[in-house]
Every structure is written in structure tokens, then in C-alpha cells.
Amino acid sequence: MHNNYFFLRQLVVPLQKTLTGSVVSECYSQNKDELIIRFETRGEPYFVKACLLSSFSCLSFPETFHRARKNSADLFGNLIGQRVERIFVFDNERSFAIAFGNHITLLFKLHGNRSNIILFKDDAIDELFKNNILEDETLTLEQLHRPIDWSYENFVQHQDDLPAVYFTFGKWVWRYLNEQGFAAKTLDEKWTALQNLLQDLNDPSYYLTEADGKIVFSLLPTGKITKTFRDPVAAINDFFLTYSQQDTLGREKSSLLSTLKAKLQATENYYAKTREKLEELQGDNNYKIWADLIMAHLHAIKPGTERVTLPNFYLENHPTEIKLKKDLSPQKNAEVFYKKSKKQQLEMQRLQQILEQKQREREGVQKQLLEAEALTTIKSLRPFAEGLGWSKEKEKQPKPLPYHETEYNGYRIWVGRNAQANDELTLKYGYKEDLWLHAKDVAGSHVLIKHQAGKNFPKDVIERAAQLAAYHSKRKTDTLCPVVVVPRKFVRKRKGDPAGAVVVDREDVIMVEPKR
């Protein structure tokens, strides 16, 4: 009700007493939708601050106000030097005006998200504070007066549509009446309730109350009352300060919670992907099994053999086929498999350490979320945010993987994010058995198809990965693009080469259409 007609009626009384005869010395704006007017009185300067945000419009009257040296603009130049003659409200309207000499009037139209301040000269609009409200361009002062017939006869005649008749009450007053059981009263009881209401509104106390989780300015004792005033200026000043603090708290707390939730989600996503990779490696122990089987049957394997089928004592002697390198002895083949198994074990240990770290991070962020949700003041919120390091520098997010992952027919395809990520993808995350792809003779992403033990790369999977390599290159708009396809072990980096640059020792080239 801070912009309600019944409050403005009370507010203009002390304003009239203080400002009559004063002179405007400054009128400027230094924040969006905010206007400051300085009046020179016989005593101290008097300030009127109008906040006309679309989300919140309210007046306040600070004791002092220091103008910023930069980013402030003078407005309403015709007001400077003008002397206040009177201040008046418009009948039943959420507006009041300050009348100056020389036929100048400054209108304060406090219509929620369409609030505005308009300067009139000789009853014609001279300047608008906000120029984006079309109906204000043709507004006249006289049309703002809105008479109401308060008679009993009119009350009886329109008893079924009282909110439209007494429009000046506004939603908050009707809410108060409904809480008092107004709808269930008899006609005479309703009339009596309205007369009592008008008496309260015409000589009110001013309440700061909580309703629906927000601070509300009220002329009626309803909701959870936190403060009570008799002075309208003190009441509106306290309300403006309290509302602004709560609004700031709400915005900063919401931002903090969003950041923490995003961090928690990122941590959980990283944890889930890492766990998936670990489980995949844990389920793939073929290298060690093959090595053990070869060592157990060395006597039965002839040198130069490319494939051998051996009874698998880990699976009740079920026959298991093993592909060998014919230029290596059976024992050397076993050693190669043991090395690969060892590499897998080291990778699993690394992934397990990452999981433990991410679990600790997840628990830490969950604790921070609970603590942040319990904060109720700016004084407690800001030090908490500073303690997280977000007030001075951007919170460091977990380092992203150097690749985007996609899956095609059961095969994982990794696409490098940028030049440095390409190096990391190929040299750190790529195994020798993986298949490496890159658009030929142009800049582009490195692409890996992850090897699956005991399987050859299907032709359709290679073609799909090649399409991705072509799309993530300078040839993405070509009809057809040549793509290099080679095992990762034939890709190396020379010392001093720029990020993303590698040498391919041997290559095959296929032609594909670039596709995302």
C-alpha cells in the first residue's frame, strides 16, 4: 500500500509543511529508473528519491544523498530554481503533484510497473522521466481525478460489484476485508465494516508486515507485523530500506545458490562419467587373462602363429581365441599383454583417486548449499560468498575433459575441443590401439575411436567418426572431405611444434561428407 491513495493523502501533509517555499537546486539520475530531487529549505537540504523500477516503484526521503562524480545526468532542467507553492493528491488516485510558480507542476504517477514522473508547464507535458509509456504522452492532470460516490444508496445499488465501485482500495485492502469475513456479512454489516475501514484508512498507523514471504507496507494490521509507525515519512523510509535489503539479499542469495547447484551438478556429472569409465575398465581384464593363458600353454603355441585358441581356466576351460603378433614369440606376446594390463591397472587407480576426490568435493558443496540456504541477512551472506572466493574472482570450475564424447553402434568416439585439447586427447588420453582421425591438410579437431579388446573397428563406425572429423575442421562446408585414418601409435608430436600439430608416420585416407 506504499503507493495507495490513502497513504499518499497522509504523506503529502508533512511534505507540504516541509517543502512549501523551498527551491529545487538539483534534479538528476545516476541509476536506471531512479530520480533524485534536492530542495533547498530554510534549514537542511531535503531530498526526494524516486525508484521507478518495473519490479518495484517507491518514494523515499533520505536525510543526505551524495551525488556521484561520474555517470549522473541532469534532468528536468526547467525545475531548477523553481519555488514550491503547494503539494496535492488527486482524488482516489495513486498520484500526487508538486505545484511550483510559473505554472509548473511535477506529477508523481505511482502506477506500479507503469510509474512515471512528468513535468507539466501551462498544463501541457514538458518532459517525461520515462519515455516508453505511450499513454503518458497524452496524459492531462485533470483526468487523474477519479470521483467515488461514497453514499449508502450507491453502496446498495452496486453491492454485487463493490471492488469496481471502490477501486481506490486496491487488492491489499480487499484481501484484508476478506480475511475479516466480509463476503459472509449481511448488507448492513458490510456497510458498517466499510465505514470502520474508511475511518482506519483516514487516520492510520503504518505497518511493515510479512505476507507471502515478502515485506509489505500496510495501513491495516494484517499479516505478520514487524514494525509499526505513526509518521508516514519515517514509515516509507524504513520500508524502502527494508525492501531494498531483502531484494538485494534475495538476488545475491539466488545467484549464490544457483552457482553452488551448478557446481554440484558439474561435480556429479564428472563423478558419474569417471565411474562409468572405471567400471568399463574393471569389466575388461582380457589382457591379463590372455597373458596368463599364453604363459600356461607356451609349449602348445608355435612361433609365428597369428591366432590361437586355448582352454580358459578362468571360464571352466571354455575355448578362448587370442590374436597374436606373428613376429613376436609367444612369451613376448604375453609380455605385451601384461604391459597393457598394467597400464589398465594404473588407469583404474587414477580413476579411483578421482572418484574419491570428487566424492569429497560433492560432500563439500552439499554442505555449502545447506549453509547458504540458512543465511538470512546480507551481512552474513557476503562474508560467506567471499569465503568461497566468488566476490573477488570467478569460482574455479572442475577442469573439463579435453573432448566431447559421442557413441555410435557401441563405440565411443572422442572429438577434441581445441588445439591444446587435441594434444591432450591424442597424447594423454589416447591408447596406441585407438583409431585416430583428422581432416587432411587443414586445421581441425583430433578424433579418436576407442579400441575394444579383441574387436576390429567396423567400417560404419570409422565412416561416422570421419564425418565428425570433417565437420570439426576448416572443410566443414565442403561437399566431400578427405580424412586421415590411422592407429594412434603412428601419431607423434615433435618438440617445438605448435598446439594441435602432430606428425603421422603412415596413413590411410577416406572421403566422407562432413556431418555433425
Reported in sequence order, the residue ranges of 459-507 that DSSP labels E, i.e. its strands, are: 481-487, 491-492, 503-504
Q: Are strands 34-40 and 46-52 parallel, antiparallel or unpaired?
A: antiparallel
Residue 491 near residue 448, CB atoms below 8 Å: no
How many whole angstroms separate alpha carbon 11 and alpha carbon 20? 14
Which has the minimum average pLDDT: 5-9, 88-92, 383-387? 383-387
Q: What is the pLDDT of residue 395?
A: 44
Neighbours of 86 (CB within 10 A): 13
Percent of the chain scored above 90 by pLDDT? 64
**pLDDT bracket for residue 390 (50, 70, 90):** low
Residues 138-191 pLDDT 10s: 999 999 999 999 999 999 999 999 999 999 998 889 888 988 898 899 999 999
Mean pLDDT computed over 438-466: 93
DSSP tag of 428:
I
Residues shown for the chain: 516
Query: Is residue 398 scored above 60 in pLDDT?
Result: no
- 3-state SS assignment for residue 55: coil
Three-state SS across 266-316?
HHHHHHHHHHHHHHHHHCCCHHHHHHHHHHHCHHHCCCCCCEEEEEECCCC
Say yes or no to pLDDT of 394 above 70: no
- What pLDDT, on a 0 to 100 scale, did the predictor assign at position 141? 93
Residue type present at position 228: T
pLDDT in tens, 210-237: 888 889 999 998 888 999 999 999 999 9
Contact 235, 243 (CB under 8 A): no
Structure-block grid coordinates of residue 442:
587443414
pLDDT for 389: 72
Is there a contact between 331 and 295 (Cβ–Cβ < 8 Å)? yes
Task: Assign 3-class secondary structure to 398-418.
Answer: CCCCCEEEEEECCEEEEEECC
Report the alpha-carbon distance of residue 324 to residue 304 in Å, rounded: 9
Q: Residue 138, SS3?
A: helix
Distances, alpha carbon 22 to alpha carbons 41, 43, 44, in Å = 5, 10, 11
d(C-alpha 175, C-alpha 288), whole Å = 76
CA 434/CA 453 separation, integer angstroms: 10
User: Taking Cα atoms as reference points, which of 190, 189, 167, 226 lies closest to residue 6?
Assistant: 167
pLDDT greater than 70 at residue 393: no
Query: Which helix (H) or strand (E) element contains residue 262?
Result: helix 232-282
Alpha-carbon distance 284 to 412, whole Å? Answer: 15
Predicted pLDDT of residue 396: 47
pLDDT for the residue 212: 82
pLDDT at 20: 96
> How many CA atoms lie within 13 Å of 515's alpha carbon, on the beta-carbon side?
8
Question: What b-and-e string marks burial along 144-174, b requiring 16 or more CB atoms within 10 Å of the CB?
Answer: beeeeeeeeeebeeeeeebeebbebbbebbe
Specify whether the CB–CB gap between 96 and 109 falls below 8 A.
no
52 and 33 Cβ atoms separated by less than 8 Å: yes
Q: SS3 of 358, please?
A: helix
Type of residue found at 330: P
- The Cα–Cα gap between 451 and 432 comes to 9
Nearest by Cα to 99 from 123, 115, 76:
123
**What is the four-CA torsion angle of 22, 28, 31, 36, rounded to 10 degrees?**
0
Q: Report angle CA 443, 448, 450 to the nearest 5 degrees.
A: 180
Q: What is the pLDDT of residue 392?
A: 41
CB 429 within 8 A of CB 416: no
Query: What residues does 491 pair with on adjacent strands?
Result: 504
Distance CA 516, CA 148 (A): 68
Strand order in the sheet with 214-218: 214-218, 206-211, 224-229
> Would the pLDDT of 325 be above 50?
yes
Mean pLDDT, rounded, for 339-367: 91
pLDDT at 106 over 90: yes
Q: Within 13 Å and on the Cβ side, how many CA atoms surround 317? A: 1
Which of 8, 22, 39, 36 lies closest to 232, judged by CA? 8
Q: Which residues make Cβ contacts (< 8 Å) with residue 447, sequence separation at least 6?
A: 413, 414, 415, 416, 436, 437, 438, 465, 466, 468, 469, 472
Bridge-partner residues for 510, per DSSP?
Answer: 483
Taking residues 290-301, what's their average pLDDT?
Answer: 91
Burial profile 411-436: b = 16 or more Cβ within 10 angstroms, e = fewer: bbbbbbbeeebbbbbbeebbeeebbb
Rg (CA), the chain: 39
